């Protein structure tokens, strides 16, 4: 049971007494979808030069709050004020005119255009229909220098690393006049160095007076960056707190309420015969790599983002042809570079970028749940009654919850999107699977549910290869861990012989314990 005061606020939390005029304010805002209430009388304030974090489990109402601020759809009740003036229902155009900008979790740069073109997208200086490239480069250089960023203007956005892309997006929105900047999981897919660069830019913007709404499931960075924190639960504000009033246990209790977060099972599994075998597998940054995963076993490949473990998805799924080595399931080698061969061998690879490679955002949940099965069997006739029946069963097994009967996947929370992804790719009990960052961008409750799903796969005899940069997740799930650094496997250890400190040391470049 969560500890609360007389007003229902968790103990140790309270409202700040500062009297600054908010640049943005929401009063009693409500929003429902098809009879399901997403926001129930929410109050929210944002002051100039403040980093105000919004945290909560998937489905708590964070995404709906952001969509209202951005003008994606109108509130049902309550009012939104900017600089103390009521706005009525916002539209995207009106929100932009008021200086409200958002950097989405999924980056939106145009990969084939240069940094200059992306920074000035839609606003390139022209004369008589011709782009003034010198002026454009000068303006882009000034925009980056103003924020202390060192990014090559002529480089293609697609060639930047994930951290560089996020920084360019933030710079673009500020350059466009963003004085209220919404950052939606800006470091969800970033490694430690890139995440710190984003944190530094957030601090720079705060010092310049930019008001920042910061949404993240990484509670450690919330406690490091935020001036205030709003905790949401079930469409309501559970508490608002100054950073000084918070520590991690208090924050987690406020988010979770009476829900329990599952820990590592005491009894571990007994693996069976070898199922998935990688022999000298190499490609991209990944050096030749040997690994064997047995039935009912979870083996983690752990390393900093960008250090080579991410190459496994393309190589095992068949999206990329290996530079060297082989992949085999039950001793039978799989033809490299063939998605059909990987699927036919019973190997399922679940991507860490669910909206780019795993799901079709504009299609409904039910059709997404049937995509893998349909792609593998290629039926000449789709029986939609059967599709919906199978989808209902999958939703129940994987705990997918929606406000509408069959919404587009893009409308779901991150946790529900991830569960749809897992259900689509794993529902037929594969012989072996690769799970790439399976809890990327989900809250602590959804993470616990997904961990239970992974446990269930192993208990049914699936050989599970877990590609992760989350040390705590590896400790929770894995039977063995392989640490990869600079594309090379540096050590392999049973989990009962390694501590968290050992893993932190190894991934940071230290020696084997």
Per-residue HEC secondary structure of 12-40 comes to: CCCCCCCCCCCCEEEEEEEEEECCEEEEE
Return d(Cα 89, Cα 72) in angstroms, integer.
Answer: 10
Mean pLDDT of 165-170: 89
User: Which one, of 446, 358, 373, 364, lies nearest residue 405 by Cα?
Assistant: 364
pLDDT at residue number 48: 92
| pLDDT tens, position by position, 450-480 | 898 899 899 999 999 998 877 778 888 999 9
| pLDDT tens, position by position, 314-370 | 889 888 899 999 999 999 999 999 988 998 899 998 888 887 778 888 888 888 888
Q: Which has the higher per-residue pLDDT, 250 or 34?
A: 250
pLDDT at residue number 463: 94
pLDDT at residue number 3: 38
User: What is the CB neighbour count within 10 angstroms for residue 319?
Assistant: 15
For residue 458, what is the enclosing H or E element? Answer: helix 444-459
Mean pLDDT of 50-63: 85
| pLDDT tens, position by position, 117-134 | 999 988 888 898 898 999
**What average pLDDT does the chain have?**
83
Q: Which has the higher per-residue pLDDT, 56 or 127?
A: 127
pLDDT at residue number 28: 92
Domain 38-108+161-256 has CATH 3.40.50.720: no
Residue ranges covered by each domain of the chain: 38-108+161-256, 110-159, 274-507
pLDDT at residue number 157: 87
Give, in order, the Cα–Cα distances in Å from 219 to each of 194, 243, 249. 17, 12, 10
Residue 381: is its pLDDT beyond 70? yes
pLDDT band at 35 (very low <50, low <70, confident <90, very high): low
For the chain, what's the residue count? 513
Fold of 274-507: Rossmann fold (3.40.50)
Residue 11: is its pLDDT beyond 50? no
Q: Do 38-108+161-256 and 274-507 share a fold?
A: yes
pTM: 0.63
Residue 5: is its pLDDT beyond 60? no
| pLDDT tens, position by position, 173-228 | 888 888 899 998 888 767 677 888 889 999 999 999 999 999 987 788 889 999 99
pLDDT band at 376 (very low <50, low <70, confident <90, very high): low
Q: Which has the higher per-residue pLDDT, 289 or 10?
A: 289
């Amino acid at each position: 049971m969560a500890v609360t005061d007389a007003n229902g606020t968790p103990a140790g939390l309270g409202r700040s007494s500062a009297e600054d005029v908010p640049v943005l304010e929401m009063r009693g805002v409500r929003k429902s979808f098809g009879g399901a209430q997403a926001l129930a009388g929410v109050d929210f304030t944002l002051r100039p030069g403040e980093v105000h974090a919004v945290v909560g489990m998937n489905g708590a109402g964070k995404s709906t709050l952001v969509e209202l601020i951005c003008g994606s759809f109108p509130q049902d009740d309550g009012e939104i004020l900017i600089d103390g003036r009521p706005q009525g229902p916002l539209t995207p155009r009106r929100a932009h005119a008021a200086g409200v900008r958002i950097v989405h979790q999924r980056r939106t740069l145009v990969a084939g255009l240069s940094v200059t073109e992306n920074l000035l997208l839609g606003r390139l200086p022209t004369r008589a229909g011709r782009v003034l490239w010198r002026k454009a480069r000068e303006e882009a250089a000034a925009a980056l220098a103003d924020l202390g960023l060192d990014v090559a203007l002529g480089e293609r956005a697609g060639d930047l690393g994930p951290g560089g892309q996020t920084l360019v997006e933030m710079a673009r929105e500020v350059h466009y006049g963003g004085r209220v900047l919404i950052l939606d999981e800006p470091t969800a897919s970033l490694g430690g160095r890139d995440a710190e660069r984003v944190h530094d830019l957030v601090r720079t913007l705060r010092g310049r007076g930019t008001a920042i709404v910061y949404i993240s499931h990484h509670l450690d960075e919330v406690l490091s960056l935020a001036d205030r924190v709003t905790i949401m639960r079930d469409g309501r504000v559970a508490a608002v707190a100054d950073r000084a009033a918070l520590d991690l246990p208090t924050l987690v209790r406020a988010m979770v309420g009476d829900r329990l977060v599952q820990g590592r099972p005491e009894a571990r599994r007994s693996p069976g015969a070898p199922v998935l075998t990688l022999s000298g597998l190499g490609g991209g940054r990944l050096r030749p790599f040997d690994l064997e995963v047995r039935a009912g076993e979870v083996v983690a490949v752990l390393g900093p983002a960008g250090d080579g473990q991410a190459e496994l998805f393309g190589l095992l799924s068949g999206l990329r042809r290996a530079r060297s080595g082989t992949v085999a399931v039950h001793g039978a080698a799989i033809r490299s570079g063939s998605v059909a061969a990987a699927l036919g061998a019973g190997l399922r690879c679940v991507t860490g970028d669910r909206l780019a490679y795993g799901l079709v955002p504009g299609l409904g949940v039910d059709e997404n749940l049937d995509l893998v099965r349909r792609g593998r069997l290629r039926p000449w006739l789709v029986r939609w009654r059967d599709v919906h029946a199978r989808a209902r069963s999958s939703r129940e097994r994987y705990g997918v919850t929606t406000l509408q009967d069959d919404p587009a996947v893009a409308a779901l929370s991150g946790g529900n999107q991830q569960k749809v992804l897992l259900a689509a790719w794993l529902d037929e009990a594969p012989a072996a699977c690769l799970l790439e960052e399976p809890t990327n961008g989900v809250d602590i409750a959804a993470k616990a549910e997904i961990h239970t799903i992974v446990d269930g796969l192993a208990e049914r005899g699936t050989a599970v290869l877990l590609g992760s940069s989350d040390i705590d997740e590896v400790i929770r799930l894995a039977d063995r861990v392989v640490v990869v650094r600079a594309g090379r496997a540096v050590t392999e250890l049973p989990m009962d012989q390694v501590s968290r400190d050992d893993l932190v040391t190894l991934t940071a470049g230290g020696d084997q314990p």
